[in-house]
Structure 1
Amino acid sequence: MTFTNFITKSATGGGHSQALTRDLNDDTTNAIIEAEHISQTFTGDKGNELTVLDDISFTLHKGEIVAILGRSGAGKSTFLRILAGLVQPSSGRVAYRGKPLNGPNPGVALVFQTFALMPWLTVQDNVELGLQARGVPRRQRSEMALAAIDSIGLDGFESAYPKELSGGMRQRVGIARALVLQPDALFMDEPFSALDVLTAENLRQEVLKLWGNEQQNISSILMVTHNIEEAVQMADRVVVLGSHPGHLIAQVPVDLPRPRDKHSAEFGAMVDKLYTVLTGQNPNGTPDEKEQAGQTGAGTTRDSNGTSPDIASSTVEKSGAEANIGEPTDGTLADLKRELVDKRSNREDGASDAHDDSSGTAGDLPDATPGGLAGLIDVVAGYPDGVDLADLASDLNFEVDDLFPLIDAGTMLDVFRVDNGHCTLTENGMAWHGADILKAKEIFADLAMDHAPLVRTIDQALRRQPNDALHGDLILDLLRRRHNDEEARRQFDIAVSWGRYGELFDYNADDDLLTLDDANR
């Protein structure tokens, strides 16, 4: 029994895409893994139900590389583990080769982000682990392990321990450990994200070479990534998930011939297209890519009844501070419901904002600091005609998860305009860029009051208090009706940092007291 066997594929450019076209003509014979209406919920610390995945259907076909792309919070890794049979979905079904999955998927091998090697075992022993668990005889598994080690470029390191290897070499061991099992589908969970740029690029190329080998034995590859260029470089199809909860936004075919030129116009156009989808627009610049994928109602955290709770949807016993606010009127805490409720459920025209799908519930504050936003404004100002988001991320050496919160904050505050993946400064952005420090803070304060509902509501609630003060726990309790504890605290902390930067309000953590800033009285 040798390492390379079973399936023959063309190693010429575009061979996989052509094979995929033929394979997909018959879904019944070429479907390796099928997932139907997968949803996943977990119970939070307070007993509340948190939806991580919402009604996702997906099929992995023979002869294709598929990338699952999405931001943090999209449930990418959870979905991968459900397909691998390591996590049981709350609802929906998964089938492997037409048979329902009731445990670990026998046709799948996993490569993890963190290598997951046993430090007390040699390279060869680590690669043999899965074979040993399957009861493969010692001599046979040794031959198979050595062949796998050689195929991934680690020949000569069989007796080395993980501590002696670089990060890239450790990940090669992880890949060899998966390949030696001769899986139908190779699953890779952000396999290159823990590596430096050059090592990651080298390892991507090695995996693609293995995939193009005429004698390689893997039917398909499914990889999780948040790196758009990586998805375009490697995948025949990109599945894009939105966040909070994870939901299907779109499935985008990548028809570029292999090997792919990252500097070609076609490659750049595909990267821009995926940026556009992730920012909530379709490739033509209109909102709500979910309509194209046949998905509706996703993107908000649901309670146990499947509805979208809001921050002030139920009656609470009023504390003394809350009682001083008075009856619900414009600008009070009770109006958080009106200010922060998901726009997708309230808009008369039924359309969503451009960023609703990718940044959580409408009105939530992106996880970006004013200082970071100011720095990005200065960078974008250096491009008189604007800059493509892909180029911006590349120039800054940012990953998608690093860049998008700043872009979300800038579009929320109307300092950036993003159209089909191209970012330009608005008049507000230019004014901020040209202002001195004090004027910039004034501009930020005005924009936050106009466009950031949570900041505005805290400001107005403070103004209605006799002493211009309010306990922070009150805001947190209201936020927890809509978010889990961690996200409620994150939203509160962001609001405080924005309020402090704009000299709108301050927060004393020792006393848990929000107060109006003297400059804002």
Structure 2
Amino acid sequence: MKTHAAPVASYVKPDARNAPAAGAGTGAALVQLSRVAKEYGSGRKFIAVEGVDLTIREGEFVALLGPSGCGKSTILRMISGLIRPTRGDVLYRGKVLSGVNPHAAIVFQTFALFPWLTVQENVEVALKARGVPPGLRTNRALDLLDRVGLDGFETAYPRELSGGMRQKVGFARAMAVEPELLCLDEPFSALDVLSAETLRGELLELWTSGKIPTRAILMVSHNIDEAVFMADRIVIMDKDPGRIIREFPVDLPRPRQRKSHDFLNLVDRVYAMLAGQTLSPDLEMGTAPGEPGVTRRLPAINVNEMAGLIERLNELVDHKTDIYRIAHELKVGSDYILSVIDAAELLGFATISAGDIKLTPLGETFGEASILARKEIFASRLRHLPFFRWLTDMVRAGGGKGLSRDVIETALAIEFPAAEAERQVDTAINWGRYAELLSYDDDDETLYVEPAGGQAA
């Protein structure tokens, strides 16, 4: 069914003096989420987000942070009207949102450009969909391309541009419709480090100088440094189900200095909130699928990645450090390092407290052990995990004939969405092979328990 956007008024180049004060956060409420929930599935329901309350005001740059699967992008899509909440209300300027939000635009992590159109035509296509006359489309597109630094590339095709330049076209296209709310879904994650850094700075310059008509920006990110560098307020989410657990202002003057004490202090605080604190072993390991309680997901991490982290920690005094320091040292993203740490914590190799990671005696032993000894230690820890015991019991029930991964994924669909169930099986195969507890036939996609593997410790 077609939807009809609101008429577009004649384009007037925005005046920085009339733009909201970036970072003020005291303006009128643009977006209000009230007890919003989103569920998926026709049989067993999977809760993407539950009980979310969030307000975004004029003049704010808000960053949504949280682990993968916590519903950040789901919230972004509900605010833009691409999906509807199962429960609760999404209000825009005090009115319940119905259908696509004509006042919002999204920039995705993938460039999503039409390869057969020129740079200028890619920007104009958004205006054409809004019914803007051809002459006005051209003027607006050229003005925006100039403002994002692409003057001279109007007739180029996407294949001729670098990743950073292609993403600039995406920004220009989003801003061409003069959105009050600009939604960014990990817009820098597909870029190389230098291109991402340049584009972040250029977007902040446009925003803080009032050179774009946008009244507020909402950005989904996995990158803690990025959020602290760009946002005026950070909203932290957790998963199972997705929910907001904390939000706080970023009271740092611009331009922000990444190496300043205040900046690093704030980064450390955010890492501490996202990493949480190590609980008792029973709570950390969770329960087996189908049993009462919470089934703990296996972090989608390769064993060698975790071993590398443990080796680095083993070299440090007291085998302990701030999480943000080791992320900076290894030059990896916050989402990645938190997943590696999650794996080490799950297996009892490390503990987390107040933003610090410290090896346990078992973790120290693992870091110093030989290749074969590491396999034995890892196998012993896997046997203790309720998830892995459940898996090996399932496979062993096949009586030596193995078990199709499809059967396992179907069983896991009780606990997880289909894509997550597939990731869980992939991780279990990877870990089980390393520990020599499981084998896997790639041709017929069947899992087997190794003859001496999978026995309870």
1:279 to 268, 271, 275: 275
1:378 to 305, 311, 326: 311
User: Is 1:388 matched with 2:327?
Assistant: no
Q: Which residue of 2 aligns with 1:356?
A: none
Q: Which residue of 2 aligns with 1:34?
A: 32
Per-residue deviation, 1:408: 0.8
User: Is 1:228 matched with 2:224?
Assistant: yes
Per-residue deviation, 1:215: 5.1
Q: Distance in 1 between matches of 2:204 and 2:344?
A: 37
Q: Which residue of 1 aligns with 2:283?
A: none
Q: Distance in 2 between matches of 1:515 and 1:442?
A: 16
1:441 to 369, 375, 382: 375
The answer to whether the Cα contact below 8 Å between 1:469 and 1:516 also exists between their aligned partners in 2 is: no
User: Is 1:2 matched with 2:12?
Assistant: yes
2:86 to 84, 90, 106: 90
TM-score by length of 2: 0.86
CA RMSD of aligned residues (A): 2.9
Matches within 5 A, 1:124-203: 124-203=120-199
The answer to whether the Cα contact below 8 Å between 2:186 and 2:221 also exists between their aligned partners in 1 is: yes
CA 1:101/1:178 → structure 2, altered by over 3 Å: closer, same or farther? same
Q: Distance in 1 between matches of 2:179 and 2:17?
A: 12
The answer to whether the Cα contact below 8 Å between 1:108 and 1:185 also exists between their aligned partners in 2 is: yes
CA 1:462/1:161 → structure 2, altered by over 3 Å: closer, same or farther? closer
Give CA-to-partner distance per residue, 1:321-367, whole Å, 9 cap, x none: xxxxxxxxxxxxxxxx26xx22xxxxxxxxxxxxxxxxxx4x33222
Q: Distance in 2 between matches of 1:466 and 1:486?
A: 25
Q: Distance in 2 between matches of 1:67 and 1:466?
A: 48
Per-residue deviation, 1:425: 1.6
Structure 1: 5+ residue runs without aligned partners? Answer: 24-29, 288-308, 313-336, 343-360
User: Is 1:206 matched with 2:168?
Assistant: no
The answer to whether the Cα contact below 8 Å between 2:63 and 2:219 also exists between their aligned partners in 1 is: yes
Q: Which residue of 1 aligns with 2:388?
A: 455
User: Is 1:399 matched with 2:397?
Assistant: no
Matches within 5 A, 1:321-400: 337=291, 341-342=293-294, 361=295, 363-385=296-318, 386-400=320-334
Q: Which residue of 2 aligns with 1:422?
A: 356
Per-residue deviation, 1:519: 6.8
Per-residue deviation, 1:520: 7.2
Q: Which residue of 1 aligns with 2:258?
A: 262
Per-residue deviation, 1:512: 3.9
Q: Distance in 1 between matches of 2:126 and 2:399?
A: 66
Q: Which residue of 2 aligns with 1:515?
A: 449
Q: Distance in 1 between matches of 2:209 and 2:222?
A: 26
User: Is 1:502 matched with 2:435?
Assistant: yes
TM-score by length of 1: 0.76
Q: Which residue of 1 aligns with 2:61?
A: 65
The answer to whether the Cα contact below 8 Å between 2:237 and 2:246 also exists between their aligned partners in 1 is: yes
Q: Which residue of 1 aligns with 2:365?
A: 431
Per-residue deviation, 1:186: 1.1
CA 1:194/1:492 → structure 2, altered by over 3 Å: closer, same or farther? closer
Q: Which residue of 1 aligns with 2:284?
A: none
Q: Distance in 2 between matches of 1:179 and 1:70?
A: 26
